[in-house]
Amino acid sequence: MTEQAHPEWDASYTADTSAPWDIGRPQPAFVRLADEGRLTGRLLDAGCGTGENALLAASRGADVTGTDVAPTAIARARAKASERGLTARFEVADALDLGRLSLTADTVIDSGVFHVFGDDDRARYVASLAAVLRPGRRLLPHVLRRSAARDLGPAPRPRGRVARGVQRRLGRRVNYRRHLRDQPDGRHDAGPGLTSRDQA
């Protein structure tokens, strides 16, 4: 598919220094979720960046699609998949219009994407997730701590408000275990994990 590029996001991957969220490896929270067997089936990584979390899932046998608005990030993700001998689909796509992908997912992962949006676009984003997430399946969002999210987008809502917003639109109970934490070098690394569990 073809999407309009977003130069401001692509510039994050063409600058001399790495983007603060691109830590060069999968986020530890998602490693733990993979070890628990949660990154399975048809999986969508919304805002996948250079693909580390998506490729982790692919290495554990998931049928993976990763999307990002930055063509440079997608090109790097595709190159990593080829270099590592992994099968994964990477597409330039807008997280606010995931329905255009014409796919359904058993699991959607999000590592900090929610926080780049203001209130109106956050509502659009949740609706976009609902368009691709199969009923009764799992959303695994990585919600940033306020200090980590401050320079990535609008001020984050309290985690309880995020949970209620997702639950209201997707009909799923959200269980946030912990959040992203700041690292001494200024990068943003993951805490033990954030999960969204299906309604019983």
- 87: CATH: 3.40.50.150
In a domain, residue 2? The reply is no
In a domain, residue 23? The reply is no
In a domain, residue 158? The reply is yes
In a domain, residue 183? The reply is yes
In a domain, residue 17? The reply is no
In a domain, residue 20? The reply is no
Range of the domain at 43: 7-12+28-197
Give dist(CA 104, CA 122) in Å, integer. 20
Find out whether 79 and 40 touch, Cβ atoms under 8 Å. no
DSSP state of 67: E
Percent of the chain's residues with pLDDT above 90: 39
In a domain, residue 65? The reply is yes
Q: pLDDT tens digit string along 37-92?
A: 999 999 999 999 999 999 999 999 999 999 999 999 999 999 999 999 999 999 99
Domain count across the chain: 1
Q: Which range among 1-15, 26-40, 99-113 shows the weakest confidence by mean pLDDT?
A: 1-15
Q: pLDDT tens digit string along 170-185?
A: 555 444 444 334 333 4
Give dist(CA 82, CA 131) in Å, integer. 29
